[in-house]
Amino acid sequence: MFEPRQIELHGHEVIYRIAGSGPPVVLVHGMVNSSRHWEEVAVRLAGDYMVIAPDLIGHGDSATPRGDYSLGAHAAVIRDLLAAIGVERSTVVGHSLGGGVAMQFFWQFPQHTERLALVSSGGLGQEVSPLLRTAALPGASALLWLIAHPRLVSALWELGDRLRRRGSGTGVYVQAVARALRPLERAGAREAFLHTLRAVIDVRGQRVSALDRLYLLDGFPTLIVWGERDHTIPLAHGRAAHAAVPGSRFETLPGAAHFPHLEDPDGLATVLRDFLETTEPVRIEDGDWGGRVGGRDLAKVHSG
């Protein structure tokens, strides 16, 4: 279950994982994460849903070409992957950077999106951790090579393990950082990370914002979930987005920081399952989108 599969798209290898059967749910990971990080959530949903988790281009085991690492490019690859495996519409769930990709997927391909869930999502405000702002600076490639050195990554993993054995929730966070750094040992992955990072973050913070488009989610099934201990992207971003999207749901996970799918997979899976079971999938036709974007009457949406 949840073993990697591969497909070639536009001449590049894309890795993805699938578990279960039923209505499709797409899980989009965050920066320097991969589909592997969704496993504990995926197995909890797989009894009733077909869970699909891609490795974004430049991440995990997918190709690391020199090319476009914008949110729109990532969303287009996911669209093409789903089309290639025969999935026409799905619920899209995105964590951190993946939340920005998930929203971009909805803006670009609303006819292929049935629900949207944002987990500690980027793109909802300027503030972001100093570490990510620093990584966007010129010359960060050399610094990244030092940070991702195998000895340092192993030391972080062991520190996280010791903290977990002592019962500290920080241990999960430290190991999540170590797990994220491990792929950056490869030069191609480091370059892809920097291209992705600089597409959305600069020294002043997040440079891509969805705030001017949140009105498009009015009436669309939208869930916003945040770890209450998140120091990477402020919890206040989630609260403000919830207030801006009428009818959206907002949930917090007290035991989680920025990686709810790793720190509290059971809690996150429970929230996602409740959202899936108590909302109807929505279908937006191509002809409806113009009315929504143009500010006329809300687009007609069709259940089922």
pLDDT at 51: 98
Positions marked catalytic:
96, 230, 258
| Element holding 52 (H helix, E strand) | strand 50-54
More confident residue, 170 or 126: 126
Q: Decide if pLDDT at 304 tops 70.
A: no
Contact criterion met (CB below 8 Å) for 285 and 111 = yes
Could you state, in order of their start, the residue ranges of all structural domains in the chain? 4-128+208-303
pLDDT at 11: 94
pLDDT in tens, 230-280: 989 999 999 999 999 999 999 999 989 999 999 999 999 999 999 999 999
Q: pLDDT-derived band of residue 297, with 50, 70 and 90 as boundaries?
A: very low
Q: Decide if pLDDT at 185 tops 70.
A: no
The structure's pTM equals 0.85
The CA distance from 151 to 277, in Å, is 45
Read off the tokens for 289.
Answer: 């989108």
Assign domain 4-128+208-303 to its CATH architecture.
Answer: 3-Layer(aba) Sandwich (3.40)
Q: pLDDT-derived band of residue 173, with 50, 70 and 90 as boundaries?
A: low
Strand, helix or coil for residue 110? helix
